[in-house]
Amino acid sequence: MNQYIETEKQYYMGTVRRQPVVIERGQGSRVWDTDGKEYLDFTAGWAVDCLGHCPPVMVQAIAEQASTLIQTSNQFYTLPQLKLVQILVENSALDKVFLCNSGAEANEGAIKLARKYGRENRNGAVEIITALDSFHGRTLGSLAATGNPHYQANFQPLMTGFVHVPYGDIEAIRKATNQNTCAVMLEPVQGEGGVNVPPADYLQEVRAWCDQEGLLLILDEIQTGIGRLGTLFGYEQFGVEPDVMTLAKAMGGGVPIGAFMCKDSCDVLRPGDHGSTYGGNALTAAAAYAVVKEVIDGGWVDHGRVMGERLKAGLERVKAAHEDSVKEVRGMGLLLAVEFHEAIAGEVVTSCNAGGLLLNPVRPTAVRFMPALNVSDAEVDIAVDRFERALVDAVERVSKG
Ligand SMILES: *Cc1c(COP(=O)(O)O)cnc(C)c1O
């Protein structure tokens, strides 16, 4: 395995901090490394592999589509694209879809839509209010939207037109609103920011404020969408409907695809305003359609919610048994985090790797759990068990220095 890690170091730009695990293949919630060691994968391709690794419906859809039609340009109509946008609209509160290739791209599109909407409906207003600790992507527009100076520091000057306010604080949004504001853009639960669940009435208050002021509410559901929080879309958990919603990650189940959606009331983009060469190409659209259809028809949203409750209960038991090291268990559905008293997340993840459980150290003091929606009872129980052992191991290692 070490030779692969050396090869990466020699040839790949040093932009990513990887775990020393070379994954060769995956099936369901399990992956195997190049030494044949098996792991339970509770990172799921970063909340992407919502049906686990290589789900048969997806493998079949890709194989069939690959031998039928892979890519045309968007100069033409294709059937997989139409099936995909239809299933997204029919199962959400939104009316129109634009297909792209990633989360950042989806947010770029949503930002452009909001700016044009502001130009046409709010006297040229173009400013967007976003939250601190948010994550909206790493392209220059989505990076400017992201409320985290850590990601932005080396890339100034950033695109202007974003105001950042504390997450979960409706008063801060009210204060930041002015005649130049066109939209508020939020994650229903912040993912990369550390799995931060807002106060229960926050999104409803934001919705009411946006209605009152004529602002668009953009929900970035790139991480929370397609079942992650226990409902098909995160907004359902909070009793609100966004005007604009962005999707990616689980929507493709592992193929690179994203989307931004809007209500008819703000469907302002016209020919020439936006485009994408690969966006919604036949191959990825067919794969995404198969994934979304299976998530809905297979009952995996409900299953995921039940598994989320089971996992949370298990992690709460670990907390109760290890109050010295575990401070909090938080999150919704299958987007959960364990917060430690000390910055031991890296050590815990190292011990988890050794014990056969893949987790994400989302913060120095927290690890994130985001398994596939179709993870089983038994897999959840094994993961909790492995996590507890790894925690004990890591704490012991840290205390020995
Ligand atoms: C992952 C993520 C993005 C960026 O998606 P990419 O596909 O990596 O560009 C944007 N917003 C949220 C909430 C995310 O979790």
Does 3 score more than 80 pLDDT?
A: yes
Q: What is the pLDDT of residue 150?
A: 87
Residues with CB under 6 A from ligand 1: 102-104, 107, 135-137, 187, 191-192, 220, 222-223, 248-249
State mean pLDDT over 181-205: 98
Does 6 score more than 90 pLDDT?
A: yes
Write the pLDDT tens digit of every residue in 286-301: 999 999 999 999 999 9
18/272 Cα distance (integer angstroms): 40
Q: Which two tokens stand for residue 376?
A: 């089983």
221 Cα–ligand 1 center, Å: 9
| Number of Cβ atoms within 10 Å of the Cβ of 175 | 12
Q: Whose CA is nearest to atom 10 of ligand 1?
A: 136
**pTM check: above 0.85:** yes
Alpha helix ranges (H) inside 122-263:
140-145, 149-152, 170-176, 202-213
Percent of the chain at pLDDT exceeding 70? 100
Alpha helix ranges (H) inside 38-194:
44-47, 56-66, 79-90, 103-121, 140-145, 149-152, 170-176
pLDDT band at 22; cut points 50, 70, 90: very high
Q: What is the pLDDT of residue 377?
A: 98
Write the pLDDT tens digit of every residue in 39-69: 999 999 999 999 999 999 999 999 999 999 9
- Mean pLDDT for all residues in the chain: 97
CA distance readout (Å), 354 to 33, 47, 110, 345, 350: 12, 22, 41, 14, 7
7/24 Cα distance (integer angstroms): 15
Among 186, 192, 284, which residue has the most ligand 1 atoms within 8 Å of its CB, making it the best to mutate? 192
Percent of the chain at pLDDT exceeding 90? 97
Write the pLDDT tens digit of every residue in 131-173: 999 999 999 999 999 999 888 889 999 999 999 999 999 999 9
C-alpha closest to that of 286 among 63, 106, 72, 97:
63
| Atom number of ligand 1 nearest to Cα 107 | 10
